[in-house]
Amino acid sequence: MTSRTARPSAEATDQPHLLLISGIGGHAPAPALDSLSRVSTTVSVVHISAWGDPEPVRADWAARGLGGEFLTAADLDGAVTAGLALHGRRPLEGIVTYSELLLRPQAELAERLGLPGNSPEAVTIAQSKFRQRQVFAEHGVPSPKFAELRGEGDLAGAARRIGFPAVFKPSLGAGSQSVRLVHTYEELLAAYRDGRAAVSAFLQSEDVFLLEERLELEAEGETGWAAYCSVESLLAAGERHHLVVSDRLALRHGYAEEGSSMPSRLDAAAQAAAVECADRAIAAIGLTTGAVHTEIALTPQGPRVIEVNARAGGPMPILFEVSAGYDYAAQIGRSALGLAPDSEPDFGRAALMRMVPIPAGEWRVVAQTPKEELLAAFPELVYVAPRFGPGQQVSRNRTLHLATFMLGAPTPEEARERAGRIERALGIELVEAPQPPATSTATAA
């Protein structure tokens, strides 16, 4: 563990001491620090170095002149140890993370220090699709019928109970990695073996998979939107605040996510039903603090919970900023201090984040438009982030998307139409590439 302490003059004695746990996934550290600095000027960081070099994050923290300390830890357990030691030197008043992968150390620290936060048990349930399904069944929360898979011997019985087509998925995972629609026992067996062989970015593990009844999420008729949405919530000071319903773009490449848009174009009754379903699910799990991202299937029988995530969905803080000028990340920081939100989002335009999936197969990128040209040609773009360059080989077996970009527009429909034009302008050209040696890795959302 290494430490860098800010100059004492940078600290204000009446400022609460926040700790940000960073290292992988979620809202990026630089904008997260900007948001947290609006809550307090005393913000320490524990950065987990298992996934990469901490020095760029250290530089971002130092550049902001925040009071507190910058610490590194090797892994999740090390982050807890570092946080406890920090609290012994300079008492903490709130623990924040924006990453799915870092929820466990956040919860453990909050519980051990008696600070606001979700219990480790609630976080364990939120991170396990299997545990969620169990809890939803116990509390009568509408969700898909499911069967637990712990070995190949479970597959035949699960197939009989659920039927085909069905959805195979890992209980612990992110970004729709290893989620497949299976039509036969042979496809289920192949999906299970591939799932067992996959290497996860999670340092914690759960050797459980699920077979679930298929909910037809791919498209809502010919609208261009998927038949599911998400509810973005903030839990703070003992209350659940449901801030907005977000739509999803139609799925054209299996279960690889294609993008999200806020605020929703759904009518008021449909949104209210989705919010009520999300509220029941959050209460059943026992979450009490911070951001919650709840995905809801829009079925002919009514809304049904796909999953609850005890953090902000990946792009949500930026979508809130573009659509409503709302600092969601700062409000999450307030929640960690036990404070109620001090503002509500006022949506003045639509914000859309597009995720361009990799087609099935092995490909090599041979051309794409430089992002500087795209930003100049489309002023509505907030950012564009190609994930590969010409000459690189890409495959959905290793990661799901070619590029992501975000834009603002007056309405959701205009945002979707503009996203189509921008996607065409990306100019990404692929050619088939040889199959590499059989390996599989998963990426985090």
- The 10 Å Cβ neighbour count of residue 221 is 8
Per-residue pLDDT tens for 337-369?
999 999 999 999 999 999 999 998 999 999 999
∠ Cα 370 58 38 (to 5°)? 90
Provide φ and ψ at 319, rounded to 5°: -60, -40
Question: Cβ distance 332 to 98 under 8 Å?
Answer: yes
Tokens of 26: 């979620």
Q: What is the CA radius of gyration of the chain?
A: 22
In terms of DSSP H, where are the helices of 128-245?
A: 129-139, 155-162, 185-197
Question: Cβ distance 257 to 306 under 8 Å?
Answer: no
* Region of residue 204 (left: phi > 0; alpha: psi -120 to 50; beta: else): beta
81 alpha carbon, distance to own chain's centre: 25
pLDDT of residue 174: 57
* Secondary-structure class of domain 10-115 per CATH: alpha beta
Q: Exposure pattern of 141-164 as b/e (b: 16+ CB <10 Å)?
A: bbbbebbebeeeebbeebbeebee
Whole-prediction pTM: 0.91
Architecture of the domain made up of 351-445: Alpha-Beta Complex (3.90)
371 alpha carbon, distance to own chain's centre: 24
Three-state SS at 296 = strand
The contacts of residue 130 (CB under 8 Å, 6+ apart) are 146, 148, 171, 206, 208, 210
Q: List strand residue ranges (DSSP E) for 223-264, in order.
A: 225-236, 239-249, 259-262
Provide φ and ψ at 307, rounded to 5°: -165, 160
CATH 3.40.50.20 in the chain, residue ranges: 10-115
The contacts of residue 179 (CB under 8 Å, 6+ apart) are 167, 168, 169, 170, 173, 254, 255
Tokens of 101: 């992968």
pLDDT of residue 8: 35
pLDDT of residue 177: 67
Provide φ and ψ at 111, rounded to 5°: -65, -45
* Residue 335, amino acid: S
pLDDT of residue 434: 85
Strand order in the sheet with 209-213: 146-149, 209-213, 166-170, 180-182
- Homologous superfamily (CATH) for 146-213: ATP-grasp fold, A domain (3.30.1490.20)
Per-residue pLDDT tens for 244-256?
999 999 999 888 8
- The 10 Å Cβ neighbour count of residue 395 is 17
Q: For the chain, what percent of residues have pLDDT higher than 70?
A: 92
| CA 297 vs CA 100, 219, 220: distances in Å | 21, 11, 11
CATH 3.30.1490.20 in the chain, residue ranges: 146-213
> What element of type H or E holds 403?
strand 401-409
Report the chain (445 residues): mean pLDDT per 10 consecutive residues: 38 81 94 98 97 95 97 97 98 97 97 98 95 97 96 96 95 71 95 80 66 94 95 97 98 92 98 98 98 97 96 92 98 98 97 95 95 97 95 88 97 97 97 71 40
pLDDT of residue 441: 40
CATH 3.90.1170 in the chain, residue ranges: 351-445
pLDDT of residue 438: 53
Query: How is domain 118-144+217-348 classified at the CATH fold level?
Result: D-amino Acid Aminotransferase; Chain A, domain 1 (3.30.470)
CATH 3.30.470.20 in the chain, residue ranges: 118-144+217-348
Q: What is the 3-state secondary structure (H, E, C) of 47-66?
A: EEHHHCCCHHHHHHHHHCCC
pLDDT of residue 399: 85
Minimal CA–CA distance to 114: which of 98, 136, 91?
A: 91
How are beta strands 429-432 and 381-386 bridged, if at all? unpaired
